[in-house]
C-alpha cells in the first residue's frame, strides 16, 4: 500500500519510522511518503495561511499550496482515483470498519490541516481527482491533523496482510465483532492479592470461550452501551 502525507510539520510524522509501521516499511509492505506543504509555496515567507473571509478568530489554510501539493501526489499515484483523507473534528468519526475498508485500498493520501482549517474549496476541487473523506478521531479538538494521521495510519497499517506477525490476534480484539475485548491475564496466577479468574486455569476450552464472551458483553454494556445492538446477542 502507498500512503502520502502532506503537512507543514513533516517531522511530526517521524513516528511512522518506528515499531510495526516502520518495520512494514522496511519490509516493503507499506510505501509511506511525507511531504512538506511549504514546498508548494512561492513567496519569501512560504505562507500557507491567511485571514478568514467573513471575519472571525484564527487563520485559514490557503488553497493554492494545497492544490499544488495534491496535484503532485495525484500525478504520481498508482491508481486513477486515490482516497484523500482529511482529519478534522467536523468529519465523520473514524472507526474499525472504516480502517478495514481503507486497508483494502492501494493508495491513501492524508492532508493535515492546521489553524482553523483548510479553505473549503480545496475539498470541492479535490473531488475531481480523489475520493475525498473528512474524518474525525473523536469529539475533541486537536491542534492539527498530524496526531490523527498517526492514529489512522497505525489502525489501517496493522490490518494489511503481513504487517502483524500473528494475524489471529486481529480477530479477538476490541471492535472486531462489534464488542469490546475480554480481559486478559498472564503469570503469576496470584499477584498482590489479586487472582486470575479460576475458569482460565481450568483447561476447559468450552467454558473459557463462554466466560470470555460473557465478559465481552458485560464490558460493552457497562462501558459502551452504544455499541450493543437492540435485542438478544447472537
Ligand atoms: N484535527 C483537529 N481535531 C481533530 C480530531 N478530533 N480528529 C481528527 N482531526 C482533527
Q: What is the pLDDT along the chain (234 residues), one digit of tens a residue?
A: 999 999 999 999 999 999 999 999 999 999 999 999 999 999 999 999 999 999 999 999 999 999 999 999 999 999 999 999 999 999 999 999 999 999 999 999 999 998 899 999 999 999 999 999 999 999 999 999 999 999 999 999 999 999 998 888 887 788 878 899 999 999 999 999 999 999 999 999 999 999 999 999 999 999 999 999 887 766
Q: Which atom of ligand 1 is nearest to the CA of 113?
A: 1
Which of 90, 133, 137, 152 is the best mutation target for the ligand 1 pocket, counting ligand atoms within 8 Å of the beta carbon and taking the most? Answer: 137
For ligand 1, the distance from its centroid to the CA atom of residue 231, given in whole angstroms, is: 34
Euclidean distance between the first and the last CA atom of the chain, given in angstroms as a whole number? 35
The pLDDT of residue 205: 98
Question: Which of 29, 16, 5 shows the shortest CA–CA distance to 162?
Answer: 29
> Which distant-in-sequence residues (6+ apart) come within 8 Å of 195 by Cβ?
189
User: What pLDDT score was predicted for residue 234?
Assistant: 63
CA 224 to chain centre: 20
- What is the CB neighbour count within 10 angstroms for residue 214? 11
The SS3 call for residue 135 is strand
- Which residue from 5, 61, 87, 93 has its CB within 8 A of the most atoms of ligand 1, so it is best to mutate? 87
Q: Which atom of ligand 1 is nearest to the CA of 141?
A: 3
pLDDT of residue 169: 80
Q: Which residues line ligand 1 (CB under 6 A)?
A: 87-89, 136-138, 140-142, 145, 148
CA distances, 30 to each of 54, 138, 215 (Å): 42, 26, 36
Helix ranges (H only) for the chain are 19-26, 63-75, 96-103, 121-126, 146-157, 205-223
Name the 3-class secondary structure at 64.
Answer: helix
- Judged by DSSP in three states, 195 sits in strand
The residue whose C-alpha atom lies closest to atom 6 belonging to ligand 1 is 89
Report the 10 Å Cβ neighbour count for 78: 10
CA of 216 to the centre of ligand 1 (A): 29
Amino acid at each position: 500500500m502507498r500512503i502520502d502525507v502532506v503537512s507543514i510539520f513533516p517531522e511530526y510524522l517521524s513516528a511512522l519510522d518506528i515499531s510495526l509501521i516502520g518495520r512494514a516499511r522496511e519490509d516493503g509492505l507499506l510505501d509511506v511518503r511525507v511531504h512538506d506543504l511549504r514546498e508548494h509555496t512561492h513567496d519569501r515567507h512560504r505562507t500557507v495561511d491567511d485571514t478568514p473571509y467573513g471575519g472571525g478568530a484564527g487563520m485559514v489554510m490557503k488553497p493554492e499550496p494545497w492544490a499544488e501539493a495534491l496535484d503532485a501526489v495525484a500525478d504520481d499515484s498508482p491508481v486513477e482515483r486515490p482516497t484523500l483523507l482529511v482529519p478534522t473534528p467536523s468529519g465523520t468519526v473514524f472507526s474499525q470498519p472504516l480502517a478495514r475498508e481503507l486497508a483494502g485500498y492501494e493508495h491513501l493520501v492524508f492532508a493535515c490541516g492546521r489553524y482553523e482549517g483548510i479553505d473549503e474549496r480545496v475539498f470541492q476541487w479535490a473531488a475531481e481527482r480523489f475520493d475525498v473523506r473528512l474524518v474525525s478521531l473523536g469529539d475533541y479538538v486537536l491542534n492539527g491533523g498530524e496526531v490523527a494521521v498517526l492514529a489512522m495510519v497505525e489502525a489501517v497499517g496493522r490490518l494489511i496482510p503481513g504487517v502483524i506477525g500473528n494475524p489471529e490476534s486481529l480477530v479477538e480484539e476490541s471492535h472486531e465483532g462489534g464488542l469490546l475485548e475480554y480481559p486478559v491475564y498472564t503469570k503469576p496466577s496470584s499477584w498482590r492479592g489479586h487472582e486470575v479468574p479460576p475458569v482460565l486455569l481450568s483447561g476447559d476450552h468450552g467454558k473459557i470461550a463462554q466466560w470470555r464472551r460473557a465478559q465481552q458483553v458485560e464490558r460493552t454494556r457497562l462501558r459502551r452501551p452504544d455499541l450493543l445492538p437492540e435485542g438478544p446477542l447472537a
